[in-house]
Amino acid sequence: MRRRLSLACCLLAAAGSALGASPTPPSLLGVSLVPGPGGASLSVPMQIVILLTLLTLLPAVIMSVTPFLRLTVVLHFLRQALGTQATPSNQVLVGLALFLTVLIMQPVATEVYAKGWAPIERGELTLEQGFQEGTKPLKAFLMRFAREKDVRLFLEITRAPAPRSPADLELRVLIPAYILSELKTGFQIGALLFLPFLVIDLVVASVTLSIGMIQLPPVMLSAPFKVLLFVLVDGWNLVVGSLMKSFY
């Protein structure tokens, strides 16, 4: 009898502790939802996985949604026009383009943080609202350089309805339109950079052929003249200054 009473007491105690305990959050594949003041939110492991996934996409975003695209295209065209092969190296050109990109995008990034991320940290906006507010400065930057023809092309491809105003354009339309526009602008600037060096190549080639000097290729003879011309006119200052002014 005593054993039965003790067993019943243990069962009642276990039931009471189970009823009084907080319910366990639902989990899926080891990822649980944690209750919070604004409702259920993702657990810390899931947040880390999402953050690492976004970090893998960060290089592609930097290369395509910033002035980095135009800068690298123009700098590589300039190196080809000079005919210096691997000087400056790819690391130098990419580093220069990266620092110039940070300088140009700093006001946009500051505005995105102030309007999007900071209110989320203070709990004033939800994640969706913060994303909508934070993408507005980025959209304004992309719309400044995206051509209307490219925007219309991707509106037709995505079959999205025509927006009432440019501010209503979605990022899935603006980003590829911006990339196409920047590629065209970069190629236009690169073609203009080629013209003076092409004239030097033509002059050197015509002179060497007229005097019968065919042992040396004209490219080797014109390279020092092109570098000398570029240095005399302070070419790096002109090219970088013109690129930076094109974004302001």
Q: Which secondary-structure segment (H or E) carries 12?
A: helix 2-20
Cβ–Cβ < 8 Å for 27, 16: no
Relative to beta strand 39-42, strand 27-28 is unpaired
User: What's the rounded mean pLDDT across residues 222-241?
Assistant: 86
Interhelix angle 68-82/218-232, rounded to 10 degrees, is 130
Q: What is the pLDDT of residues 135-160, one digit of tens each?
A: 888 888 888 888 888 888 888 888 87
Q: What is the pLDDT of residues 111-139, one digit of tens each?
A: 888 887 777 777 777 777 777 787 888 88
pTM of the model: 0.72
What letter does residue 89 receive in the DSSP assignment? -
Sheet holding 27-28, edge to edge: 27-28, 31-36, 39-42
Q: What is the pLDDT of residues 23-81, one digit of tens each?
A: 444 444 444 444 444 444 556 677 787 778 778 877 787 788 888 989 999 999 888 88
Cβ–Cβ < 8 Å for 108, 138: yes
Helices and strands in the chain, H and E counts: 10, 3
